[in-house]
Amino acid sequence: MYNTTTMRKHFTLVTLIILFTYSLTAQVIYEPFESSKLGESRDIKIQLPRNYNAEDETLYPLVIVLDGDYLFEPVVGNTDYQSYWEDIPNCIVVGINQSETRRNDFFYAEETNFPIDEGASFFEFLGMELIPYIEDKYMVSDFRIAIGHDLSANFINYYIFKDRPLFRAFVLLSPELAPEIPNLMAQRAPLIEMNTFYYLATADDDVSSLKTDILTLDAALKGIENEFFHYRFDDFEDANHYSLVGLGIPKALTEIFSFYKPITKKEYTEKVLEYEGSPFDYLIRKYEDIELFYGFKKKVVENDLRAIAAASKKKNDIESLKELSKLARQEYPDSMISAYYQGMYYEEDGNLKRALNSYQSGLLLEESDYITKDMLLDKIYELKD
């Protein structure tokens, strides 16, 4: 077990780099939480997404960060940054400060390798008090992520042994594993019946005793065949027990939300163009799968509209463009996006008069990341000529 003060010193540089990379404008709330399970108060930190609106029906994944004293800020920085670029959804992040209580909070019986006494109380506090409180107060979805480092990374394992795990994604950053966890996880992972992400990380300069156990766990998990158990392991070069956190968090988030990401060039080439149905059908199925997989709806992003439009034109699928133009108008009624794709459909369909009218109507709407007033004017001049 490692001294919290030492950890804090090592994480100072990582945290500063993340926080100075961009301007963090998300809402962060600090408050004490009275726990009957623990018999004492705990300080928690809550980050709400940018422009969070309690009246909105949007649901957000919930990220629970143990060892929140030093781990909360790196997680906040990465979730905010990646969601800004639409690589992951906006998340609600909750950190629990444990610098003075972590040894008791993560206590387990050597005989069983599972929490007892104070550890069992903390286990119940998280699932029976804190998470229900957050669910009652904020717009969170059922998709929950647990992130821990060192002792706390080992502790989040215990939730995966429930018949219905509390979390859908587990991020273990250089865990100090209980001795039998590799064997227990090897028995549990094949039996999981809901989509579950499990991320494990170490580094070439990690604490040697920890790394030995981590590699044993990796060996136990990497051969498991279970379509519901999504496992990823990283062994970072030129990193140690502390610095690997700055590398592992973004990799874990990328892996967890791999199905959520906008259409990439590879996906466009290998899946969209090769799809047996229309490009528009591919888009609808992609977003239906996202909702089914993560438990919340994703707004169709402009990148995906562009990809499907390009595929529709390449395959000369006018009907797909027509449906895409309707979707664009539905999703972005006040943006040039709606006028642009409607104009594109009419243009490809040979109705140049309506195409011209659509492009002209867009001049009074808001520009988007890709569609500007100059683009619409170019289309208008082109059609007039």
Burial 130-149 (b: 16+ CB within 10 A, else e): bbeebeeebbbbebbbbbbb
Residues, the chain? 385
Q: Which two tokens mark 39? A: 């018999």
Please state the rounded mean pLDDT for residues 68-77. 97
Q: Taking a C-beta distance cutoff of 8 angstroms, is the pair 345, 322 a contact?
A: yes
The angle at the Cα of 301, spanning 297 to 303, to the nearest 5 degrees, equals 145
Q: Which two tokens mark 38? A: 């623990």
Q: Taking a C-beta distance cutoff of 8 angstroms, is the pair 283, 308 a contact?
A: yes
Residue 17: what pLDDT?
Answer: 45
Q: Taking a C-beta distance cutoff of 8 angstroms, is the pair 105, 119 a contact?
A: yes
- Cα–Cα distances (Å) from 313 to 115, 307, 316, 330, 369, in that order, read 59, 10, 5, 21, 21
**4-256 has which CATH code?**
3.40.50.1820
- 265-384 has which fold? 1.25.40
Q: What is the dihedral of CA 278, 282, 284, 285, to 10 degrees?
A: 130
Residue 274: what pLDDT?
Answer: 96
The domain segmentation of the chain, as residue ranges, is 4-256, 265-384
Q: pLDDT tens digits for 85-142?
A: 999 999 999 999 999 999 999 999 999 999 999 999 999 999 999 999 999 999 999 9
Q: Taking a C-beta distance cutoff of 8 angstroms, is the pair 184, 102 a contact?
A: no
Instruction: Describe the crossing of helices 336-348 and 318-331 by its angle, rounded to 10 degrees.
Output: 170
pTM assigned to the model: 0.87
Residue 51: what pLDDT?
Answer: 86
- Identify the band that residue 13 occupies on the pLDDT scale cut at 50, 70 and 90: very low
- Identify the band that residue 293 occupies on the pLDDT scale cut at 50, 70 and 90: confident
Residue 224 Cα to chain centre, angstroms: 24
Q: What are residue 203's DSSP bridge partners? A: 236
Q: pLDDT tens digits for 262-292?
A: 999 999 999 999 999 999 999 999 999 999 8
Q: How far apart are CA 114 and CA 161, in angstroms?
A: 10
Q: Taking a C-beta distance cutoff of 8 angstroms, is the pair 42, 96 a contact?
A: yes
Does position 14 have pLDDT exceeding 80, yes or no? no
Please state the rounded mean pLDDT for residues 290-301. 90
Q: How far apart are CA 188 and CA 160, in angstroms?
A: 8
